Amino acid sequence: MEQQLEELKRRLGEVFDLQMVGALLGWDQSTYMPAGGAEARGRQMATIGRIAHQKATDEEIGALLEDLQPYAESLDADADDAALIRVARRTYEQQVRIPEDLIGEMLAHSAASYDAWTRARPANDFAAVRPLLERTLDLSRRIANCFPGYQHIADPLIDMSDYGMRAETVRAIFTQLRAELVPLVQAITAQAPANDVCLHRHYPAAQQKAFGEQIIRAFGYDFERGRQDLTHHPFMTKFSLGDVRITTRYNEHDLSDGLFSTLHESGHAMYEQGIKRTFEGTPLANGTSAGVHESQSRLWENLVGRSRSMWEFYYPQLQAAFPAQLADTPLDTFYRAINKVQRSLIRTDSDEVTYNLHVMIRFDLELALLEGSLEVKDLPEAWNTRYREDLGITPPNDSNGVLQDVHWFSGPIGGAFQGYTLGNIMSAQFFAAACAAQPTIESEISQGEFGTLHGWLQRQIYTHGSKFTTDELLQRTTGGPLDIGPYMAYLRKKYGAMYQIG
């Protein structure tokens, strides 16, 4: 068994390395690659993806997993080896269903589509990417149809990101959450909006970068195993557990854009940096799911980064870094500004209260696209209609409408967006559990100390990688299943105090 286990790890390690090479090519395309490299980059990413898929679906891996199953069953379910065999089998059985050529086709197409999107969005040119998006939809359906027997065509795509979730389950959660959020949004937006003029003065990018990196160092992001670069749409990526990178963007007339993108991506990165190093090169060396991953980015961005406690410590330092911009702005005004609730167009810039409504719109639209009840040519109109109905605001152009998110232009349609709202829900559950276990956390945050919180997350979540499913991880850390209760309690307490809502 020991010899077979080592052979399995060796083969899985080759797959992992190839996948990390693919991630490196993707990071370079999104950061430093000149525009002229786009065509070749798509070909290169497809080549690496096909080779990785060949190795990942090799019959020898299937045979090794079959031979090792009795050994896995002899171990405690929580044992690392048992988890490795279990997760590797699940991954293998999923990947072996998707033809190698389809993987290569999707990767090459996604690279070309992303390149076109980087030009189409600033040019407000949906027509330029419409044929690419139609092909993306076709490829997405073909991938989903590799998994016959689904209830909804989106189910296989959702399952790839949030294992165990289905369209029906997500819809039920979203319906429950929407019923709670809409009255809260209405109560807040009926009042005069917060004054956020202080965020829209001139903030030089270099100084923004220095201040943001100061905060995430304090959070626990390790720059010895990471770095931050610029991109069109911020993201986190890794090339090994010793090389976990983040990207951001700066708007010199919107302090919150770069600052909170940096805090957000550091949450993703600290999760990956905290995975047990012995998991390197195996399927365990990843986050549990898109939702759990998002819970960490949103926890650090919002529950910590937009808290009054943190800014009681950091606001004097921010004023010192930007005296001309903030000397006349008291903490209360700044705190209300960074938590301003408004009906807005851009998901990534939206506040905590309306954010999930943006996600629900995208989720519903991609289900309609996959079902065939909505055609790509009608997507901009459908997008604008939903924004008018759900948020009372109509995008003035496609750049701030259907073109704003990179997701449908850099990968499949389906499976990406639900994780954001699932993550928001879980962020409050995890934070509440951390504070219950370590009651000093909130007072420490007000002193600029984050070690206790980071340590709890490291022990309870990060170190496990993908060893446990989302449901298992929630049960272990919070004592129960996914629950919108703590999230709504957090929003009502925070915004109820801010807007005097009972």
Annotated catalytic residue 180: no
Please name the residue that has the structure tokens 């259907």: 402
Distance CA 254, CA 196 (A): 10
Residue 187 is which amino acid?
Answer: A
> Burial level of 192, CB count in 10 A (0-12/13-18/19+)?
exposed
**Contact (CB, 8 A) for 442 and 456:** no
Q: Kindly report the number of other CB atoms within 10 A of residue 248's CB atom.
A: 25
Structural Rg of the chain based on CA atoms: 22
Distance CA 31, CA 28 (A): 5
- Cα–Cα distances (Å) from 158 to 132, 168, 356, 375, 475, in that order, read 22, 11, 17, 20, 21
Point out the catalytic residue in the list 213, 265, 301, 352. 265
**Largest interatomic CA distance in the chain:** 70
Q: What are phi and psi of 442, to 5 degrees?
A: -65, -40
Distance CA 490, CA 176 (A): 16
Q: Quote the DSSP letter at residue 305.
A: T
Q: Quote the DSSP letter at residue 104.
A: H
The alpha carbon of 499 is separated from its chain's Cα centroid by a whole number of angstroms, namely 29
Please report the DSSP string for 312-348 in residue order: HHHHHHHHHHSHHHHTT--HHHHHHHHT-----S-GG
Q: Quote the DSSP letter at residue 440.
A: T
Torsion of CA 463, 468, 470, 472, to 10 degrees: -110
Helix/strand/coil for 480: coil
Length of the chain: 502
Tokens of 471: 């449901």
Q: Quote the DSSP letter at residue 385.
A: H
Residues belonging to the active site: 265
